[in-house]
Chain A
């Protein structure tokens, strides 16, 4: 939810109960003021009536209104007193009940008592409520409009630097941008935010660059000692007096060394792909590349007796570094062979601007979302480095291709889409 929307909701949540209380308060205030006003008017009339009575020569009945609700009537002697009553009568003219405030007063003059009855219609409760409702509805709508206008204004002007910063952060990509300069702004808080962000992105970038450099240097430095171990082993193997157990130990050392060396090369390769160090590219015909690689891998995995079908329906040419192209396609083909079963199948298709390779094989022993992660490998493939598909993913990420994995009917399908 947007900040401005949230602000408006909070404003409304606070102002609605306040308005309700104000409404009730106004209702009681207005209705009691109205009553006081009516009473005062009736009282004034009573005094006028009393003045008139004093002018009477003899007692008589006087009707003060057509509906005979207000009248002066002579009665038997009573003490002077007056009181107000509220009553409801049916108004024939309007066809609805009418609220009346009635003043009854007993007045005695010249040994004759009179009953003065004075009535005044008062505002009905529902009419008063109705009026209040409309007034408050109007106030609320004005408030809403005002909230929106003010918030829009605040968002446009006050929060503008914040949204600019947000946009910059969204666009920030560690791989492509060295530093992002969050500009100086006049609002203190936003200025503090930008200063903090400048500091933070700079630190992150430096750490990132340092780490990249470290990976590259470390891998590089490891090559020479590995070369020495390999050569020393080669020489040791030639020794004529080695016992069988010793040979087996040497063999263990050799396979571990080879694995280390492969691992090292793969990590170095990943770093280089991510650092965009393969920047030269050329036109590559995938059909020719696939045919060549398939031949190579077929020879390597001959013993598995996998049957392969090539359906190259489309001639696809991509613009890519030749080494990366070979890694991209080669790793996928190798993967399809490596994780295949004996007498299994591989199908390779080129269509709809896509390279689709599917192979038979056991189900994955891990979540398929982890398939392209580094060092993720099946429990059964102990010798595998678990970096082949990570390299594929790294290449597709860097060159905006998409790679998709699906498994249907124990077929593992990889779809590599070129734009």
Chain B
């Protein structure tokens, strides 16, 4: 799985590279518009993460270029502008997803995984983790081949945990993922507790191991040994 990261901020670039490398991706990076175009023209990638504001050009022009040459790569636009106009424009010209800065790495991780799943039509569509099997297409979950009926938020929560298994996820991080666009208006993250409690109960009822580990004061870790 090969990813190109186009980001001019060195600290951010380094941190993302390290993280994606640890997640098992092959990751390359470019720090300006010209270098990015060079890489795109010479190599092919499964996924491209592109920042909107770049030295020597605009990230959205890279998206246009990729679309113009029928690139198969999945594109995630990253923007510090936090401008929903950028989001709309980015998605309009053919980007697959949009992530406003500042974001959690686990959120980026979940988006990349979801994007790759959507692009990977061949092969097994289901996500399988020990006794848990998820079908992202119709958002259904089964444990030991027995279907578990989850609410929409519980499903999102489980998928986020599985995408970021063995990572400590803070409550704020999980809350932001669940709330999505309204994240900026939420100042209390206690609501995730209710959803998590119900999710755990439903999974355990079907004989699933309780993988959710509570990290005191911080959040949770979906631990697969």
Contacts and interface: CB of A to CB of B under 8 A. Distances in A.
Asked whether A and B interact, the reply is: yes
A230 interface: yes
A320 B213 CA distance: 45
B220 to A, nearest CB: 11
A191 interface: no
B28 interface: no
Interface in B80-132: 80-85, 101-106
A247 B185 contact: no
B12 A228 contact: yes
A248 B194 contact: no
Contact of B191 (A254, A259, A302): A302
A262 B184 contact: yes
Interface stretch (B14-22, B32-40, B67-75, B142-150): B14-22
Q: Pick the most buried of A224, A303, A326: most chain B CB atoms within 10 A of its CB.
A: A224
Q: Pick the most buried of B11, B195, B219: most chain A CB atoms within 10 A of its CB.
A: B11
Contact of A297 (B182, B188, B193): B182
A265 B176 CA distance: 14
A416 B173 CA distance: 33
Given A220-B81, A223-B101, A251-B218, A266 B182 contact: no
Contacts of B153: 299
Contacts of A237: 167-170, 215, 218-219
A211 interface: no
A228 B9 CA distance: 9
Interface in B137-183: 153, 167-170, 172-173, 179, 181-182
B15 A254 contact: no
Interface in A343-384: 381, 383-384
Interface of B: 9, 11-12, 15-16, 18-19, 80-85, 101-106, 153, 167-170, 172-173, 179, 181-182, 184-188, 190-191, 193-195, 215-219
B8 to A, nearest CB: 9
A265 B173 CA distance: 17
A230 B103 contact: yes
A250 interface: yes
Given A227-B101, A230-B103, A247-B218, A330 B182 contact: yes
Contacts of A326: 181
Contacts of A258: 172
B19 A247 contact: no
The range of chain A's interface size is 35 or more
B110 to A, nearest CB: 12
By Cβ-Cβ distance, the 5 closest A-B pairs, closest first, are: A227-B102, A383-B187, A223-B80, A237-B168, A227-B101
Contact of A300 (B80, B83, B172, B182): B182
Nearest to A331: B185
Interface in A219-255: 220, 223-224, 226-235, 237-238, 244, 247-248, 250-251, 254-255
B167 A238 contact: yes
B112 to A, nearest CB: 14
A388 interface: yes
A333 to B, nearest CB: 9
B101 A224 contact: yes
Contacts of A99: none
B206 to A, nearest CB: 23
Contact of B185 (A232, A277, A323, A330): A330
16 contacts: A224-B12, A226-B101, A226-B102, A227-B102, A231-B12, A231-B104, A234-B105, A235-B15, A237-B218, A237-B219, A244-B217, A251-B217, A255-B172, A259-B187, A300-B182, A303-B194
Contact of B184 (A223, A251, A265): A265
B180 to A, nearest CB: 8
A334 B182 contact: yes
Contacts of B172: 254-255, 258
Contact of B186 (A224, A257, A277, A300): A300
A296 B175 CA distance: 13
A268 interface: yes
A133 B16 CA distance: 100
